[in-house]
Structure 1
Amino acid sequence: MLYYLFIWLDKQFDIPGAGVFQYISFRTAMAVILSLLVTTVYGSRLIRILREKQVGETVRNLGLEGQMQKQGTPTMGGIIILLGILVPTLLFAKLENIYIILMLVTTVWMGIIGFIDDYIKVFKKDKQGLAGRFKIMGQVGLALIIGWTMHSHPGIVVREEVTLPVTSASPLEIHQHGTVPYFTQNVKSTKTNIPFYKNNEFDYSKVLKFLGGDYQKYSLTVFMLFVILIITAVSNGANLTDGIDGLATGTSAII
């Protein structure tokens, strides 16, 4: 929101310094600083409020050494993380960017699932929380939305080297490799970048190459399965790690 405000001020009144908001490096730095302020200043206050309201963690006694020390630890701390993500993003990001939209939808969606889980544990006194099948349903539902959007949205493209003539209307860029010119263009593609793979490129449609010449028409199915796998694995992996004395914070920072 601040991005749009300062861009408007720069265009209308030519205010010195207002144009700096067009640079993503500046907005990124400001978002990081604001996120730190939100989580440190308001995080401690939220924890204090949760303690006063006796919104604490209920621990099942499994006979593990030291596990009961977590009894009463303030839960619903994910609210701090949500604020640290959502507030800077809403203020400094280009909200029409499809990647920003998907990130916001994902954050809020998974935050709601986590809130319901904690609410059941704390206020309904059910140590199991939200049933696992409902968590999986929520994760798969989100994955279907993200997968379909990424596959069909015209703004989600991959820059690839192309040969003339081209069928896409997107602009061509001319490059020079020695004395040989070549062209690149933003196109819809079934490729993605992953580490530890040849050229860091993985074409998920080729998983079904054994079906013959028409295998690419099934690329959406393969892509959706990959998205479901990634979202459910990352979400549940983070949840399991967080259950081990809050280790999710450290691993998330490394990632």
Structure 2
Amino acid sequence: MIVFLFNYINKYYSGLDILSYLIFRAVNSLLTALFISLYMGQNLIIWLKKLRINQMVRDDGPKSHFNKHGTPTMGGLMIITAVIISVLMWSCLSNIYIWYLLIIFIGFGIIGFVDDYLKVIHGNSRGLLARWKYFWMSIISIIIVLLLYFAGKNTPLTQLVIPFFRYMPQLGILYVGLAYIVIVGTGNAVNLTDGLDGLVIVPTIFISAGFAIVSLLTSNAIFAHCLHLPYIENTNELVTFCTAIIGSSVGFLYFNIYPAKVFMGDVGSLAIGGALGTIAVLLRQELLLFIMGGIFVIEACSVILQVSSFKLLGYRVFLMTPIHHHYELKGWPEPLIILSFWIISLILFLLGIVTLKMR
């Protein structure tokens, strides 16, 4: 929105060129989202408490979680609001990728909102039935993926970037399946990880920062050629979306850090996961997301392994899943688990950045 205004002003006064520069807008996108989330935070918490929108604690979960009963949930609303306002203000709205991201981000957020709302209304931790959650996530994802496929068929947009290798195979129709799995899978993986105070939000900041860097490199023909990345036009605007996620996440962390004053809820975790998966698809960095988002992968795989082993062998590999609950039941203090996962996430983020050069 502001980009159009700056471009109009530049026709009459060229001294304000800096206002339309991408880096300037990216920094302002981050700061805008940060201030909005900080401003909303306390008021949102008070409002949620008045409406008694509290976290439903699993009966079969760690006993330490019973102390969290009554803590407001759906705090992800501040993240969604901050990101949307910031992106609409500082992104170039003629860029179709921004609109694809907003559709996934808002669509997944609505699904998460319904899930959280049903949990509060019925007073249990089940919420929206899994099959309906997957159904609506799939519908939204498939529409966006098909639009991307038909617009970028047999171009760099449908290539697969393999870390540590220069070979980038053309996926063809397989692109649709991979993109769908990444978007829906990331949404669910982030949702599964959101079980401890601040556990999800810090890895989200690292991954968003990594994708902001990749967006700048991929949209520059010279950098893309030097690093053996696919050159994809117009992906530079994804930087403003990434920085908006970073800013809103830092603001939310202020209220969500242990002991949390508010929980993210599915409304936030599904929206963030869907957005990160979509950014990875747009940048052709699905495998990089697999590396940098390794915490999310581990959490999701622990659930898959637990369910599979119990159904096939009648044996539970972990005391409880997702895996962070396993360590809670083993006696690890919650802050230690959170900090350990943050450190692992930082290491994976740095490893992901290194892969951009090692080819």
* TM-score normalized with structure 1 length: 0.75
Task: In structure 2, give the amino acid aligned to 1:8.
Answer: Y
Match of 2:279 in 1: none
193, 196, 199: which one aligns with 2:166:
199
Deviations 1:19-43 (A, max 9, x none): 3232111100110110110111212
**Alpha carbon RMSD of aligned pairs, Å?**
2.0
Partner residue, 1:176: none
Displacement, 1:202?
4.0
Displacement of 1:189? 5.6
One-letter amino acid matched to 1:14: Y
1:123 and 1:200 mapped to 2: Cα distance? 52
Asked if structure 2 preserves the Cα contact closer than 8 Å seen for 1:109 and 1:142, the reply is: yes
Correspondence for 2:10 = 10
2:186 pairs with 1:234: yes
2:20 to 22, 29, 35: 22
Runs of 4+ deviating beyond 4 Å: none
- Kept in 2, the 8 Å contact 1:56–1:71? The answer is yes
Q: Structure 2 vs 1, CA of residues 97 and 139 (structure 1 numbering), >3 Å: closer, same or farther? A: same
Q: How does 1:57-206 map to 2 (within 5 A)?
A: 57-62=55-60, 64-153=62-151, 156=152, 187=155, 190-196=158-164, 198-199=165-166, 201-204=168-171
Alignment of 1:243-254 (within 5 A): 243-254=195-206
Structure 1: which 5+ residue stretches go unaligned?
Answer: 159-186, 205-218
Number of residues of Structure 1 aligned to a counterpart in Structure 2:
207
Determine which of 39, 43, 46 is the counterpart of 2:44: 46
Could you say which residue in structure 2 is the equivalent of 1:173?
none
Shift of 1:63: 5.3
SS in 1 for 2:122: coil
- Equivalent-residue separation in structure 2 for 1:100 and 1:67 (angstroms): 38
Distance (Å, rounded) in 1 between the aligned partners of 2:99 and 2:82: 17
- Following the alignment from structure 1 to structure 2, what is the Cα–Cα distance between the partners of residues 188 and 66? 49
Quickly say closer, same or farther: Cα 1:189–1:3, change in 2 above 3 A. closer
Q: Which runs of 5+ in 2 are unaligned?
A: 208-359
Kept in 2: contact 1:241–1:248 (CA 8 A): yes
Q: Work out which of the two has the higher radius of gyration on C-alpha atoms and give 1 or 2.
A: 1
Higher strand content, 1 or 2: 1
Higher RCO structure, 1 or 2 (CA under 8 Å, sep 6+): 2
Alignment partners' CA distance in 2, 1:200 and 1:34: 39
Query: Which protein has the bigger helix share?
Result: 2
